[in-house]
Amino acid sequence: MLLLFSIHGAASADCQPGELFDHASAEHTDLSRLLEKAKAGNAEAQFRVGLAYDMGRGVPCDYAQAASWYRKAADRGHPGAQNNLGGLYVRGLGVEQNDTEAVRWYARAAAEGHQAAQNNLGYMYAQGRGVSQSDESAVLWYRKAADQGHAGGETNLAFMYSAGRGVPEDSKQAIKLYQKAAKGGFAPAEFNLGLLYFHGIAVPQNLPEAMQWFRKAAEHGSAEAQNQLGFVYSYGKGVKQDYAQAEEWYRLAAANGSSEAQHNLGVLMNLMSGTAGDSSAVATAAAPGTQAPIAITTEDDVAIGRLSLLGGKR
C-alpha cells in the first residue's frame, strides 16, 4: 500500500510549473505587485513570492530564495509557508536537510488546522523522522487531515487501518477511506483500491474492477499503476495478453521515473524477441505493503496539483 507524504514539491530538484496567478498573461505584473507587498511585510504576499521561486513561475527557480520568503511568511504565522518551509527542510532544498526542523514547522502549521501539514506531521511520526516513531501519533494527525477531506490523509489513514498500525485492523474502514479519496480522482487511493481487488484483500478478487482502478490511477499520473498495467498486459492477468499495450504502459511508467518499469521493459523486450536473457530476470508488479511513500500537492491554498514520487521506508 502507499503511505502518502504531502510535502511541497517533487522528488527531484527540478522546478515544475504550476498555476500560481489568476491571470497567467499578467504574471510578471502580478509578481511585481506581490514583491512590493512582500517587502512591506504582507505574509500572504511573502508566501506567494516564495512559491513563485519554488515553482519557477515568473522568476528563475531558486530554492534558497523560496526558503527565505517562506521563512518570512512563516515567522508571521502563515500556515502554508510553514508547511512549505518544512518540505524544503525534508528534502534539503535551499536549506540544509533537517528532519527535526521540518517537524517543527509542520507542527506549527498543523496546530493551525492546515490539512497538508497535518498529513505531513502524521507521516513524520509514522516514519520516525525528526520525532520518535509513533503509529498512534501518526493516526491522530492523519485523522485530523482526513476529517477535513484531505485525500492524502484519508489514504494514509486507510493504510493504517488496513495494516493495523496505531489502530485495530479494520479492512472495511480502510476500503471506505480509499473510496472516499478515490472519488476525487486521487491516484494513490485509486491504485490501492486496484491492488485490493487484484489480490482479493478485504474484498472478493475482481480483476476487471482492479483494472478499472489501475487505469484511472494511471491516467491520473501514477507510475506504479502504469507499471502495473504493463505487468497485467504482459502476462495476461485479467486481460488478454498484449505485448504492445504492455510496452506502452511500461515506457510511460519508466518516463515517469519508475525503475521497476525500466526493469520490466527489459524483461518484456526479451520475451518479444524470443531470447531468454538473464534467467533470473522476471517482471515485477506491486504487492500489498511494498509501495514507497509519495509526495502530493504543494500548499493547498494555491492550485498547483502536481504528483511525484518520494522514496522512504514503510
> Tell me: the pLDDT tens digits for 147-157?
999 999 999 99
Q: What pTM does this model have?
A: 0.80
pLDDT at 275 over 70: no
Instruction: Tell me how far apart the alpha carbons of residues 293 and 273 are, in angstroms, rounded to a whole number.
Output: 35
307: its cell numbers? 504528483
Residue 295, beta-bridge partner list: 5, 308
Q: What is the CA radius of gyration of the chain?
A: 21
SS3 content of the chain, % helix, strand, coil (to 5): 60, 0, 40
User: Residue 29: its pLDDT value, please?
Assistant: 54
Phi first, then psi: give them for residue 183, nearest 5 degrees.
-60, -30
Determine the pLDDT at residue 274.
76
How far apart CA 25 and CA 217 sit, in angstroms, is 32
3-state SS class at 308: strand
Other C-beta atoms within 10 Å of 251: how many?
A: 16
pLDDT higher than threshold 50 for residue 143? yes
Mean pLDDT of 78-105: 97
Q: At which residue does the C-alpha cell 482502478 appear? A: 213
* C-alpha–C-alpha distance, residues 73 and 120, integer Å: 19
Q: What is the pLDDT of residues 244-268, one digit of tens each?
A: 999 999 999 999 999 999 999 999 9
Beta strands in the chain, from DSSP E residues, in sequence order: 4-5, 294-295, 308-309
Q: How far apart are CA 96 and CA 281, in angstroms?
A: 39
C-alpha to C-alpha distances, 101 to 72, 80, 184, nearest whole angstrom: 16, 16, 32
Q: Cα separation of 116 and 145, whole Å?
A: 7
Average pLDDT of span 45-51: 95
**What percentage of the chain reaches a pLDDT higher than 70?**
78
Split at pLDDT 50, 70, 90, the class of 199 is very high
* End-to-end Cα distance, the chain: 9
